[in-house]
A and B are shown apart, each in its own frame.
Chain A
Amino acid sequence: MNRTMQSSVLSVIGAVTITAVVTGMYTNFVKPGLRWYLVAAGVLLLAMGIYGVLTARSEAGEHDPDAPPGEAAPDGHDHTHGPRVGWLLLVPFLLLGFVVPPPLGSFAAGRDDGQVRASSDNFDITSDLPEGQVVDMSMTEYQTRALYDESHSLKDRTVRLVGFVAEEKGGGWSLARMKLSCCAADAYSVKVTPVGGQQLAKDTWIAVTGTWEPSPEPKDENDFVPPRIKVESMEEVEEPDVPYE
């Protein structure tokens, strides 16, 4: 990889990263909180790339003109060329920019039991729900309130949850949403079991409006039974801008 090419690779990675933030596609992979760090990294890479291309001629011209091109340095490592392994960096970023893998869905959700874990989300589960006929709620909040709120704030309230359809191994289906700590590599699912309502094709995004209903007791302490929601109505919705919670 010569210097111009190295700089071009940096520019492509920078440009793709900025584009992914601007189009919002980056939320398929990482938390929205990383947005400005990604923009900063993209801008720096783009600037380094442009600077490198603009100065490539003078750099190369002045650099050790007597050395035959491409000869390996004494440590067996050719320094007039960039590291060849650097080409690999293009793979994830070309995929990010020009293929855009989909957000994790029912396949990933099928790999765990759908129990919410300790997280940095802040909500007070003992607080009363806001006034109104139907309360929009994250899957995380619904599950946390259903499992841990001893004041039963969900009781007799109508809530609206947005998630995708996940098939369950033993038959039936769940409303599921993937949750990230940092990036999709650490994703896990948060599930709620709908009672009633027609099962749609897996990975269909739906909004479920309904009321909380108690779940059966778990068999033992390692068994997890997701909270239930009694479905009043159900509609297909667009995939949310941020597919994860």
Chain B
Amino acid sequence: MSTSTTPARTAGETSGGSPHRQGGDPSWPIFVLAGVILALTFARPAISGAFVDHEALASWFTVFVSIALQALPFLVLGVLLSAVIAVLVPPDAISRLLPRRPAAAVPVAGLSGMVLPGCECASVPIAGSLVSRGLRPAIALTFLLAAPAINPVVLVSTAVAFPGNREMVLARFLAAFVTAVVIGWIWLRLGRDDLIKIPRRAPVAGGRLAQLVAAARHDFLHAGGFLVLGSAVAASVNVLVPPAWLDSLAGNVLVAVLTLAIFAFVVAVCSEADAFIAASLNQFPPVAQLAFMVVGPVIDVKLLSMQAGTFGRRFATIFAPLSFVVAIIASLAVGSVVL
């Protein structure tokens, strides 16, 4: 979108008023957007032709668009809830609901993840909002990790994907909960809250509705932008990596667990769908299937991108590997007992 600045001036002048007072932004991007739409419309026959000739390219675009479209309702739900927390909930209200000792508040935050029926795209903006409302990061992060993995929608879809295998549902719930709580405790002990770039918002004048919409709009564009980056990577993996590669790694249990953990990281499927994929990987031992479902909602390429965007890159470089390792250990531990 970084086209020449010449139309910027003209557009800015013709829009009237004082451009400085309105944030100093020219209005030319709107004309660029209109131009892009027009160009796409005219180019559509040529693009459709290219899709017929280049099937892999067409698959990439379809998968890329589908991840964004699938995530949209959850993203909107997430940013609206996070805006409500940011604008309507008094700063100390959430802390008061939780046990005063942080170490005790962590598991409570983990369990409260059960009430958010969404996937991981919804929980990142909510956690960001909780942190900027003054909740201790370790507690907000526990919620961030637990919510997409142990909510009823995800557990039901796991039960459907593994019919007659209630142990798998139990194992998933336990391993995901343990992962979230252990990472929360580790983060408390580490005491590296300084790594977190606390999401701050511009003060918005006007009533509560204006503030609510401004907060939701900001979060939507922010989290959504990073979501798109992550889905581009996931679509590339989907199209480029031959599934047969996986089969050769299914033999040894540890190798299998690590393989599916890495696979969960790169394919970045929604936590509401991952059980079906895990179930289909039936050449792998059950504990590896479990690891796939425990790692995915905790860390994957799109989450990494969203977390780095919301809490800063320095935070993500510590938190992502920590999440990955703890999730694998929890899967192995819970899997060996329950499965």
Q: Which residues of A are interface residues toward B (Cβ below 8 A)?
A: 1-10, 12-13, 17, 20, 26, 28-30, 34, 37-38, 40-41, 44-45, 48, 51-52, 55-65, 69-70, 73, 75, 77, 79-108, 111-112, 117-120, 181-186, 188, 222
Is the CB–CB distance between B70 and A34 below 8 Å? yes
Is the CB–CB distance between A6 and B61 below 8 Å? no
- Whether B115 is near chain A, meaning CB under 8 Å from some CB there, is no
Hey, which chain A residues are within 8 Å of B221, CB to CB? Answer: 1, 6, 9-10, 82-83, 85-86, 89
Hey, which chain B residues are within 8 Å of A84, CB to CB? Answer: 225
Cα distance A65–B23 when bound, in Å? Answer: 9
Hey, which chain A residues are within 8 Å of B229, CB to CB? Answer: 85, 88
Selected A-B contacts with CB under 8 Å, 16 pairs? A5-B30, A28-B66, A41-B72, A41-B73, A59-B206, A60-B23, A82-B221, A84-B225, A88-B224, A89-B68, A92-B68, A101-B62, A108-B59, A183-B273, A188-B280, A222-B247
A243 smallest CB distance to B (angstroms): 10
Is the CB–CB distance between A89 and B224 below 8 Å? yes
Q: Given A57-B22, A188-B280, do A120 and B160 touch, yes or no (CB 8 Å)?
A: yes
- Whether B40 is near chain A, meaning CB under 8 Å from some CB there, is yes
Hey, which chain B residues are within 8 Å of A108, CB to CB? Answer: 59
Known: A70-B25, A105-B55. 6 other contacts (CB 8 A): A63-B23, A75-B198, A82-B217, A95-B64, A118-B163, A186-B276
Is the CB–CB distance between A95 and B65 below 8 Å? yes
Cα distance A158–B118 when bound, in Å? Answer: 43
Hey, which chain B residues are within 8 Å of A89, CB to CB? Answer: 68, 220-221, 224-225, 227-228
- Whether B254 is near chain A, meaning CB under 8 Å from some CB there, is no
Q: Given A55-B210, A69-B20, do A40 and B73 touch, yes or no (CB 8 Å)?
A: yes
Hey, which chain A residues are within 8 Å of B24, CB to CB? Answer: 69-70, 80
Cα distance A82–B204 when bound, in Å? Answer: 13
Cα distance A9–B21 when bound, in Å? Answer: 22
Cα distance A96–B61 when bound, in Å? Answer: 9
Cα distance A148–B5 when bound, in Å? Answer: 66
A79 smallest CB distance to B (angstroms): 3
Q: For residue A202, which residue of chain B has the nearest CB?
A: B55
Q: For residue A57, which residue of chain B has the nearest CB?
A: B22
Is the CB–CB distance between B40 and A98 below 8 Å? yes
- Whether B36 is near chain A, meaning CB under 8 Å from some CB there, is yes
Q: For residue A29, which residue of chain B has the nearest CB?
A: B66
Q: Choose from B27, B160, B224, B280 the contact partner of A4 (Cβ within 8 Å).
A: B27
Q: Given A85-B222, A89-B225, do A1 and B216 touch, yes or no (CB 8 Å)?
A: no
A78 smallest CB distance to B (angstroms): 9
CB-CB nearest 10 A-B residue pairs: A86-B221, A69-B24, A85-B225, A2-B25, A79-B202, A182-B273, A62-B205, A107-B55, A184-B66, A92-B68
Within 8 A of A (CB), among B225-280: 225-229, 231, 234-235, 238, 242-243, 247, 267, 269-270, 272-273, 276-277, 279-280
Q: Given A52-B213, A60-B23, A186-B269, do A90 and B65 touch, yes or no (CB 8 Å)?
A: no
Cα distance A173–B157 when bound, in Å? Answer: 33
Hey, which chain A residues are within 8 Å of B51, CB to CB? Answer: 101-102
Cα distance A70–B206 when bound, in Å? Answer: 21
Q: For residue B200, which residue of chain A has the nearest CB?
A: A75
Is the CB–CB distance between B217 and A52 below 8 Å? yes
- Whether B97 is near chain A, meaning CB under 8 Å from some CB there, is no
- Whether B90 is near chain A, meaning CB under 8 Å from some CB there, is no
Is the CB–CB distance between B242 and A8 below 8 Å? no
A85 smallest CB distance to B (angstroms): 3
Is the CB–CB distance between B69 and A17 below 8 Å? yes
Cα distance A230–B292 when bound, in Å? Answer: 39
A199 smallest CB distance to B (angstroms): 18
